[in-house]
Amino acid sequence: MAAKEYICKRTFIGRIPHGSDLLNSLTEFVREKRIKLGRLQMIGAVEKAVAGLYDSEAEKYENFVFDKPMEVLSLIGNVSLKDGQPFIHAHITLGDEKGQSFGGHLMEGTIVFAAEFIIEEFEGEDLERIFDKTTGLALWDI
Ligand code: ZN
């Protein structure tokens, strides 16, 4: 295992406007606030959602489109640096009208109905994502 130690700094609690793209809104927020490292959580509802599954053979994401209103039962993620810019990696769990759950890696195209988020910022050494040959992913340089 590899890890670095950080101190909690600022905490932001907020709402994302109705009709916004969820991932783009979160990315804009962390860039505007210069949050280079942190964690996030969000609950609420979406009008539609796009989530992905990483295909390790093809080394790319396969997207699922959920083209209907769903609850966001849970969204968790982190903020770190990629190409020198704050970058969000988040996973979303969605619930439908039968109480069934679906989800995956949060993608652009997920439209907010209502969203309440909490972002905690950490202070310490920068944490940058770098290309990892084994997985084909941009992983933390720890
Ligand atoms: Zn992911």
Please tell me the pTM assigned to this model.
0.95
How remote is the CA of residue 16 from the centroid of ligand 1, in Å?
Answer: 21
CATH numbers and ranges of domains, the chain: 8-140 (3.30.1330.80)
Compute the 3-state secondary structure of the chain and give helix, strand, coil in percent, each to the nearest 5: 10, 60, 30
Between strands 70-82 and 128-131, the pairing is: parallel
How remote is the CA of residue 105 from the centroid of ligand 1, in Å?
Answer: 4
The protein residues having their C-beta less than 5 angstroms from ligand 1 (an ion) are 105
pLDDT for 116: 98
pLDDT for 8: 96
How remote is the CA of residue 130 from the centroid of ligand 1, in Å?
Answer: 15
- pLDDT tens digits for range 68-91: 999 999 999 999 999 999 999 999
**For a pLDDT cut of 70, what percent of the chain falls above it?**
100
Half-sphere CA count of 101, side-chain side, radius 13 A: 9
Dihedral sign from CA coordinates of 73, 39, 106, 102 = negative
The continuous run of DSSP H or E covering 39 comes out as strand 38-55
- pLDDT tens digits for range 11-69: 999 999 999 999 999 999 999 999 999 999 999 999 999 999 999 999 999 999 999 99
